[in-house]
Chain A
Amino acid sequence: MPQLRDSGTRTLHATEPVPSAEMDGFCRIFGVETEYGVAVTGAEKPVDAGQVAMTMFQPIVSRSRSTNTYLTNGSRLYLDVGSHPEYATAEARDPYKALAQDLAGEHVMRNLALKAQRKLRESHGEHATIHVFKNNVDSAGHAFGCHENYLVRRFVPLEAIEHQLLPFLITRQLYTGAGRMTPDGFQITQRADFLDEAVSSATTRSRPMVNTRDEPHADPDSFRRLHVIIGDSNRSQWATWMKLAVTHLVLCVIEDAFRQGVSSGFEDWAFADPAAANRAVSRFLDMPDAELLLASGESVTALALQRRYYAAVASFVANHREMMDAAFAGEASGWNVANAAVSPTAAILGQWNRVLNALEQGNYDALADCVDWVAKRRIFDALHRRRPNVTFAQLEQLELDYHDIANGRLYSSLADRSQIRQLLTSDEIERAVHEAPQDTRAALRGRFVEAALASGAQFSADWTHLAVTAPERREAVLLDPFNAASTPEFDALMSALQ
C-alpha cells in the first residue's frame, strides 16, 4: 500500500500559528505545478536541450538574477533539476482560477520558447524549432509530473486520505487521463506504468501517487498540503478544471466526516493493490469491465467505483450545497460555461454525471470535446483510416505534437475547429498572465513583485515570505493563504519600495 508520512518541517514557520477563519467551511486553496519537457528539431548542428532551456530562462535571469522567480500574477516560474521549465500556479480559491493561472503558465512558457527560438535560428538555421511539451513522458521513458496541491484541514489523518481518496484518484483517470500511445497499445493515462507504491517525502527518488511533504505554506496546526502526483498534464482546459473540481468535492466529504465524527462512506473502497489497479485503469480500452480487487475482498470495475463516489458526493452535496457554493463566492465566471445561474457545485456534479454516463454507454467519442485521451484517440483512428500504413513513430510524434505548447499543431487545430472545449477566452488568459487571483495571499505577492520590479530593488519571495534584500533588509510573512488583505508588515514592506 502506498504510505504517506509527515516529514516534519513545522519549525519552518517561527511566527505564532494563527487559527484560520476558514477552518469551518469548505474553502480550499488549489494549485497546479506543471513540469515541461524541452526538445529541439530541425537544427543544422547538434544542440543540447538543457542549453536551450537555459536560453529560454535568460530573460528571467537578467530580471531576477536567478532561474527561480515569482511573477506579478503571484505564480512561481523556475528551471528545475534536469532543465525542466516549471510553473507553479498562485494560490486559487477555486478550480476555475487555478485553471486560468495554469493556462497563464502555458502562455509564459510559449513566449519564452519563441523568443529563444528566434535566437537559436540565428546560429542553428531557420528550421530550428523548440518544442515545449506539457506531457509526462519522454522518448526514453523518463517520467515527470503535473502535481496538484490541495490545502486540507489537518484534522483529517493521512491514513484516511490514503484509503479514501486514492481509489478515487486512480479511477478519475477515466476522464482526466491524457492518453499515451505505447508499443502495447493505447493507454488512457501517461503515467500509470511509471508510478509505484513506494512513497517518501521526496518525489524524485520514488514514484508515489500522493504525498505530503508537509510544507503546508500555511498555519501547520490547521492545514496540511495534499500533493497529488498521480495526475497527467492536461491540454484540455475542461480536464484541468474537472480534476481539481471533483477532487475538491471528494475531499469535502472526507473532511466533513472527520469534523462531524461520522462515516464518509469511502472507508471500504481502498484497492488491495493500488499500483496494479492504476495500471489496469490505464488499460481501460483493452478491458473496460476489468474487475479490480478491493482490500475488503470485493471486486468492482473502475467505472462502477467512480459511480459510487459520484452517488455519495451527490447525496452529500444535496445537504450542504449552500455552504459548498459559498466557498466559491469569489467566483466571477467560468462555472457557467453556458448558464450564469448555475450553482458551481451543481455544475461540477452535472459534468461528472455526463462523463460517467457516456463512459457507461461506451460512447467515448461524445467526450472528445473535453477528455484528452478521447480527443487524441479519435484523431489517431481518423489518421489510421486515411493512412493505413501510418507508422508507430508517426503516431508517437503526433501525440507529442498534441502536448507541444510552443509549436504544436494538433491541439490548436482542434481548438480552432471547435473540437475541444475552451473554458477561457484568450483575453482572460492574458489577464491571468499579469494579474494574481484577488481573493488569496497571491494578490499581495503579485503587488509586491510588481512594485519590486518597478523600483529595481533586490527582492526575494517564497509562498509565505516576501523580502527586500537591499539596501536594507525588510520582510513580511504571509501565513494565511486565504487572506488577501494587507497587513501592517506588508504595508511597511511596500513603502520601502516607494
Chain B
Amino acid sequence: MPQQFEQPQSQPQEVHEEDALTAAQTNQQQQSDDQSDVLDSILDDIESTLETNAEEYVNSFVQKGGE
C-alpha cells in the first residue's frame, strides 16, 4: 500500500501486519466474484422485509427510559 509511505509516522512493521490482517478479508472478497451480484443477493434477502408496512414497523418502536 504505497500511500502509507506518505505517512512519516507509519512504521514498516505495521504495514506488514496490516497486510496480513487484511489478507483473509481480501480472499473472502475475491470468492464473491462480483460485488454487484452480492449486493443483489442481499437485496433479494431483505425484499420480504420491505413488503411489510414500513411506517407501522417504524412507529411500533417507541422506547421509554434508558441511560
Q: What residues of chain A have their CB less than 8 Å away from a CB belonging to chain B? A: 35, 37-42, 49-50, 80-84, 131, 133, 138-140, 142-145, 147, 203-204, 207, 229, 307, 310-311, 314-315, 318, 337-339, 342-343, 346-347, 349-351, 353-354, 357, 361, 369, 378-379, 382-383, 386, 390-391, 393-394, 396-398, 400-401, 409-410, 413-414, 417-419, 421
Known: A144-B66, A315-B9, A382-B39. 17 other contacts (CB 8 A): A35-B67, A37-B61, A37-B63, A82-B63, A83-B65, A139-B58, A143-B67, A229-B67, A310-B9, A338-B23, A350-B15, A353-B7, A361-B3, A401-B46, A409-B45, A410-B46, A413-B42
In the complex, what residue of chain A is closest to B42 when comparing beta carbons?
A: A413
Contact B49–A410 (Cβ < 8 Å): yes
Contact B61–A394 (Cβ < 8 Å): no
Contact A140–B54 (Cβ < 8 Å): no
Residues of B contacting A144 in the complex (Cβ-Cβ under 8 angstroms): 63, 65-67
Given contacts A38-B63, A41-B52, A139-B62, contact A418 B32 (CB under 8 A): yes
Given contacts A310-B9, A311-B9, A337-B24, contact A386 B63 (CB under 8 A): no
In the complex, what residue of chain B is closest to A133 when comparing beta carbons?
A: B61
Contact B24–A383 (Cβ < 8 Å): no
Contact A400–B21 (Cβ < 8 Å): no
Q: How far is the CA of A421 from the CA of B21 in the complex (A)?
A: 11
A-B contact count (CB 8 A): 182
Contact A409–B61 (Cβ < 8 Å): no
Q: How far is the CA of A134 from the CA of B47 in the complex (A)?
A: 22
Q: How far is the CB of B23 from chain A (nearest CB, A)?
A: 5
Interface SS of B by simple majority: helix
Contact B20–A338 (Cβ < 8 Å): yes
Q: How far is the CA of A314 from the CA of B18 in the complex (A)?
A: 14
Most B CB contacts (10 A, CB to CB) among A138, A342, A350 go to A350
Q: How far is the CA of A81 from the CA of B13 in the complex (A)?
A: 48
Contact B21–A342 (Cβ < 8 Å): yes
Contact B49–A342 (Cβ < 8 Å): no
